[in-house]
A and B are shown apart, each in its own frame.
Chain A
Amino acid sequence: DGGITQSPKYLFRKEGQNVTLSCEQNLNHDAMYWYRQDPGQGLRLIYYSQIVNDFQKGDIAEGYSVSREKKESFPLTVTSAQKNPTAFYLCASIRGTEAFFGQGTRLTVV
């Protein structure tokens, strides 16, 4: 079945370490997005990509980086510069105006 696959589902990171969250899609969608979810704050846009080899910062890009070398893949790296990285991260692809979401990765800094 087509969809968005995020891995891992749970991730633990030590302070000062970089960590990469995987997002893969087989929907053949051009646009892919990363959101961060914190309790009571809804979803906030980190980065998005409309096409391969191109991406733009969202509202809270500081401390994060992305790449888009393939249409199917849009990995997110949480760097040591992100001061409060513990959160639930959601990847989505968008066709027209409809978003399709992965199951999320819960990142915890220990």
Chain B
Amino acid sequence: AQSVTQLGSHVSVSEGALVLLRCNYSSSVPPYLFWYVQYPNQGLQLLLKYTSAATLVKGINGFEAEFKKSETSFHLTKPSAHMSDAAEYFCAVSDHDSSASKIIFGSGTRLSIRP
């Protein structure tokens, strides 16, 4: 079975600073990996996805993530944080092991931005 682990339930950075949210995955087959963002009392919105093409994936709102097979990681970064980036972020992996297509989510990282 596949799984993802998000390191750090809460990350706080200053406005304008680098954002780094960590995600490691476990998979016996080449995975599909995703980052989603959730604003308070809202559903999840797809930020970006990796589907075995380019290892550096660019998403919306200036975010990007790099797939590193040797490290089993898919960390999310943004060069300069903005106040509007404050939200909860979820890393996810698509489950290819079963006959049903399922997406497995990490426990989430809450990003706070200091003025």
Contact = CB atoms under 8 A, between A and B. Distances in A.
A106 interface: yes
A98 B46 contact: yes
Nearest to A58: B102
B80 interface: no
A6 B103 CA distance: 20
Interface string A88-99: 101010101111
B107 interface: yes
A103 interface: yes
Interface string B17-36: 00000000000000010101
B101 interface: yes
A105 to B, nearest CB: 10
Among A9, A43, A103, which residue has the most Cβ atoms of chain B within 10 A? A43
Interface string B101-115: 111011110000000
Given A40-B108, A42-B105, A42-B106, A104 B49 contact: no
Contacts of A20: none
Interface residues of A, number: 27
Chain B interface size, under 10 / 10 to 19 / 20 to 34 / 35 or more: 20 to 34
A50 B100 contact: yes
A48 interface: yes
Contacts of A94: 101, 103
A86 to B, nearest CB: 15
B45 interface: yes
B103 A103 contact: no
Contacts of A6: 43
A103 B43 contact: yes
